[in-house]
Amino acid sequence: MRTNKFMVTLTLSAGLLAGGAIASAFAAGNATGHSAVQWLTPHEVQLKVEALGYRDLTKLERENDKYEIKATNADGRLVAIDVDPVTGAVLKTDVKRDNDTAAGPTTGLTLHQAQVKVEAMGYRDLKEIERDGDKFEVTATDRDGRLVELDLAPFTGEVIKTEVKRNN
């Protein structure tokens, strides 16, 4: 009798432990349903989006459950696209306007070139990069672990302004 109770207790305990492990695994998933999967880097996302025919990226922002990108589509229209952070698949596309001269300058560094310059200067964990008129605006983490917003010169990528948004 004592052996039977022990076996029943042992079996129930094992079941509870296994159930807890499964619940923890589900809790580890994020809002996109991807469980413990690493996001693509901004560079990888840019390459995937460009391979799909988008060009002239002017904004790349890491949101809670996606990347948000502004670019020109194959028809020359300015679009905002939501991109799956794990696969690089386009989740949603909104046409903003037809491509025109009001879209801003198209010369100088590309979004990717500006990103490479920022990373070469030691900034990491890029949250957002956007071409805004005569400059790039970048939100990233500096070498001291602070969240900073940078303004970059559009042709050289030189930092022209730094603002600390949050200390580590």
pLDDT digits (tens, 9 = 90+) for 125-148: 999 999 988 899 999 999 999 999
- Alpha-carbon distance of 123 to 139, in angstroms, equals 9
Confirm if 39 and 63 have CB atoms less than 8 A apart: no
Domain 111-166 matching CATH 3.10.450.40: the answer reads yes
CATH number, span 42-103? 3.10.450
Residues whose CB is less than 8 angstroms from the CB of residue 154 and which lie 6 or more positions away in sequence, other chains included = 105, 108, 109, 131, 134, 135, 136
Distances (CA, A) of 142 to 63, 125, 163, 166: 19, 9, 11, 11
What is the pTM assigned to this prediction? 0.66
Q: What share of the chain is helix, strand, coil (3-state, %, to 5)?
A: 30, 35, 35
**pLDDT band, very low/low/confident/very high, at 106 (cuts 50, 70, 90):** low
Mean pLDDT along residues 161-168: 90
Q: What is the pLDDT of residues 32-80, one digit of tens each?
A: 455 568 999 999 999 999 999 999 999 999 999 999 999 999 888 999 9
pLDDT band at 90, cuts 50/70/90? very high
Residue 48's SS3 state is helix
pLDDT band at 108 (very low <50, low <70, confident <90, very high): confident
